[in-house]
Amino acid sequence: MNKEYAQEWDAPSAVETAAAPATKSNVVALKQIVTIRLDTDMLDWFKGNGPGYQTRINQILRQYMADHRDDGAANR
């Protein structure tokens, strides 16, 4: 593919975060398209709860990150 041509869906986009309270660090979040392998039953469950399953997965991962942020510092 031509490196000078970046399709709109291929570029990270700036979006406002609605789930987290507004602070200086999370007013604007960049999102990047990634490939991730998930168990089919788990993906079916998220999709079965209606549109927005990727956002819900992101919110759960963000909460996990927040809950375990200090764990990485303790292991150093």
- Report domain extents, the chain: 8-70
- Its pTM surpasses 0.75: no
Residue 14 has pLDDT above 90, yes or no: no
Cα 33 to the chain's mean position, in Å?
9
In whole numbers, what is the pLDDT of the chain averaged over residues?
Answer: 77
Residue partners of 9: CB distance under 8 A and separation at least 6: 33
Bridge partners, residue 28, by sequence: 16
Residue 56, class by beta-carbon neighbours within 10 Å (0-12 exposed, 13-18 middle, 19+ buried)? middle
Banded model confidence at residue 60, pLDDT cuts 50, 70, 90: very high
For residue 20, give the nearest of 53, 68, 60 by alpha carbon. 60
> What pLDDT is stored for residue 32 in this prediction?
93
